[in-house]
Structure 1
Amino acid sequence: MVDAQRFRILLEEERDRKVALLKALQGDITSVNAARQDANVDDEHDPEGSTIAFELSQASALMEQSRVGLEQIEAALLRITDGSYGLCAICGKPIAEGRLEARPWTPYCMEHASGRS
């Protein structure tokens, strides 16, 4: 039987990190957008480095990854609450504790995990 309380703590800590990262990324996006509006530059041809568009694209991609991760964490916390945490969402068998330690948000055992989590 999985120690759900231990995993709850891990998941809550990871949730806090994701929330902080999302706030920081939103701040970065806001700053870059402000710089883009304030500057009258042709950033597509700036030989000094990456373009503003590239920076926005990169921050947006990281933000989306973090949002998805946060959703997975929230779903895992709900599974702890409803008592289904640690059981595969497909076959209902226990998920190996080592897998949960590596990916505490996973709803799948190794057999059913390929390409899912």
Structure 2
Amino acid sequence: MTDSIEYERMLRRRRDELTARDAELLATLASLGELRDANNDDEHDPDGAPVSGEWSRLAGIRRETQAELAATDAALGRLAAGTYGICVNCGRPIAPGRLEARPTAELCIVCAERTSRR
């Protein structure tokens, strides 16, 4: 079983990784944005993906990264508040195995299954 100190280390490492990924994505998107603004007609480039298509793909990945970062920050907040590992819906403990597999989990497996069926 993992203790709260280990969960915090794991979450902080993940937060650092996500922050670095977000910065990389932001820099790449800025570069692609400059190409898009230059009105380059890459839509017919047979050698690669169009700039606008690549920008859309990376923007989607960045949104997912930011969502995961927000979930990680929320989990760290629950740790600081002493509520980490307690289901925000029913108040029951979240199984350690679930937290090990998904350290940002805020719902126990029963509540998560109920939510996914809706």
TM-score when normalising by structure 1: 0.90
**CA offset digits 1:62-90 (Å, max 9, x no partner):** 11001111110111011011111001111
Residue of structure 2 in register with 1:50 after alignment: 49
Corresponding residue pairs, total: 115
Q: How far is the alpha carbon of 1:91 from its aligned partner? A: 1.0
Alignment of 1:26-65 (within 5 A): 26-38=26-38, 41-65=40-64
CA distance in 1, matches of 2:58, 2:40: 20
Alignment of 1:66-105 (within 5 A): 66-105=65-104
CA distance in 1, matches of 2:10, 2:111: 23
Residues 76 and 95 of structure 1, relative CA distance in 2, 3 Å threshold: same
Q: Does the 8 Å contact 1:2/1:86 carry over to 2? A: no
Q: Does the alignment pair 1:9 with 2:30?
A: no
Paired letter, 1:37: D
Q: Does the 8 Å contact 1:87/1:93 carry over to 2? A: yes
Q: Structure 1 stretches of 5 or more lacking a match?
A: none
TM-score when normalising by structure 2: 0.89
Sequence identity (%): 37
CA distance in 2, matches of 1:78, 1:33: 34
Q: How far is the alpha carbon of 1:35 from its aligned partner? A: 2.7
Q: How far is the alpha carbon of 1:2 from its aligned partner? A: 6.2
CA RMSD in angstroms comes to: 1.8
Q: Matched residue of 1:44: which SS?
A: coil
Q: Does the 8 Å contact 2:2/2:100 carry over to 1? A: no
Q: Matched residue of 2:86: which SS?
A: coil
Q: How far is the alpha carbon of 1:42 from its aligned partner? A: 1.9
